[in-house]
Each structure stands twice: as structure tokens, then as C-alpha cells.
A and B are shown apart, each in its own frame.
Chain A
């Protein structure tokens, strides 16, 4: 079945450091790919998405590119802030399916 693999956390960075959170997937066909963010005690919020190969999703300085050849959707940000501290989830939804499959999440902690 479809699956998503994320790098293990936690990730601890200093403010203004470069962020990469790796995400790879296994799916049939061309799934839609998503990054969600979860702040403590809250539900998930969509951060960005990409729906076809080579698409780049971006929002609030975060970016991720849909790489079909490597089945990856890595999240990047050039300069993180303390307010970016949260848990980040990579997810997919396969074509013709209803289910959203999530990775295990990566906790990010940004230090001032």
C-alpha cells in the first residue's frame, strides 16, 4: 500500500539556520503531496502542497518540490525562526483514493 517515510526527529536548529526535513513516498501513480504543521495542542494546518511532478509548493518561506524520479518531497526553509518550532508531517493522497497517508512527523525545535 501507499506509505510515507520521514526523517526521524527531533531536529534542533539555531535561529536563521537552514532547514531540510526529508520525506519520501511509495505510491501507485501520481499522488498529491502535502506538508502539514502542528503546533502544540492543536490540529494540523496545511503548510504547502504539490499535485504533479516537478511542482514546487511554497508558503511562509517554506518550499518543497515534487520529485517523481526520487519519490521525494523534502521540506526546506532558508532561515528558520523560533516561531517555526512545531511538528511537521508529510502526507500523500493517491489518485482515485480517499485516504490521506501521513508520515510519523518530525519535531522541529528552533533556539534563539
Chain B
């Protein structure tokens, strides 16, 4: 069966520090991969998605970036965190067919102080 791992679970980082969140998927090949952010009291905002190694689509211009160095690995990064980057970050994967659901990781609670 397929599983998705996301870490760390919680993270407290000072303003201006770098960020690296990692997500890996097991049990499937060539998944679509996604990073979402959920700010307090708000819905899910799609940040990035990837349909293949090295292919990244950005949805929202910001100081975050994403990379997909391996088929089932998706990394969210920042060189310098802002206070506004605080939130709950969720990684997800899906298969290519549009009638299937996305599967989510447990999320990372990021607090920038």
C-alpha cells in the first residue's frame, strides 16, 4: 500500500533562517506531488505541484521554492523565512487520472518567531 511521510511534525524557526521540509511517498511510481499551506482560520492554498522529476509548477509568488530531486521526494525550501510564512504545511500525492483523490501527509506546523 501507498504511504506518505512528511517531516518534521513541528518546527519553530527565527525570522531570516532557512527552511527545508521534506516529503516522501512509498508504494507508487511517478506520483503527482503537491505542497499546500493552511494559514490559521483559512483554507488550503496550493503552493507548488510537480508531475515529474525536476518539474515544478508554482502557484503563488513568494519566498518559498520547491524541488523534486527524486521520483517520490518533494522538498519545500526557503532561504530566509518571514513571519508570514507561519502555518500548517501539507504534502500530498495523487495519480495522474483526474477522478482520483489526493492523499495527504500528517502536516508540519511551522512557527516563525
Give Cα A62–Cα B104 distance, bound, in whole angstroms.
20
* B interface residues with partner A (beta carbon < 8 Å): 6, 32, 34, 36, 42-44, 46, 49, 51, 57, 59, 90, 92, 94, 96, 98-107, 109
Q: Which of B57, B92, B101, B109 has the most CB of A within 10 A?
A: B101
Q: A43-B104, A44-B104 are in contact. Are A105 and B94 (CB under 8 A)?
A: no
A98 and B104 within 8 A (CB) = no
- CB of A61 closer than 8 Å to a CB of B: no
A69 in the interface (beta carbon within 8 A): no
Residue in chain B with minimal CB distance to A52: B99
Choose from B42, B96, B109 the contact partner of A104 (Cβ within 8 Å).
B42
Most A Cβ at <10 Å: residue of B34, B43, B46, B104: B43
Cβ contacts under 8 Å, B94 to chain A: 93, 98, 100
| CB within 8 Å for A51 and B102 given contacts A43-B90, A44-B90 | no
Which chain A residue has the least Cβ–Cβ distance from B104? A43
Say whether A98 contacts B43, CB under 8 Å.
Answer: no
The contact string, 1 if C-beta is below 8 Å from chain B, for chain A 80-101, is 0000000001010111111111
Known: A98-B49, A98-B51, A101-B46. A93 touches B105 (CB 8 A): no
Chain A residues near B99 (CB, 8 Å)?
32, 51, 93
B106/A43 in contact, CB under 8 A? yes
Max chain A Cβ within 10 angstroms of own Cβ: one of B34, B59, B100: B100
- Binary B-proximity of A43-83 (CB < 8 A = 1, otherwise 0): 11110010100000000000000000000000000000000
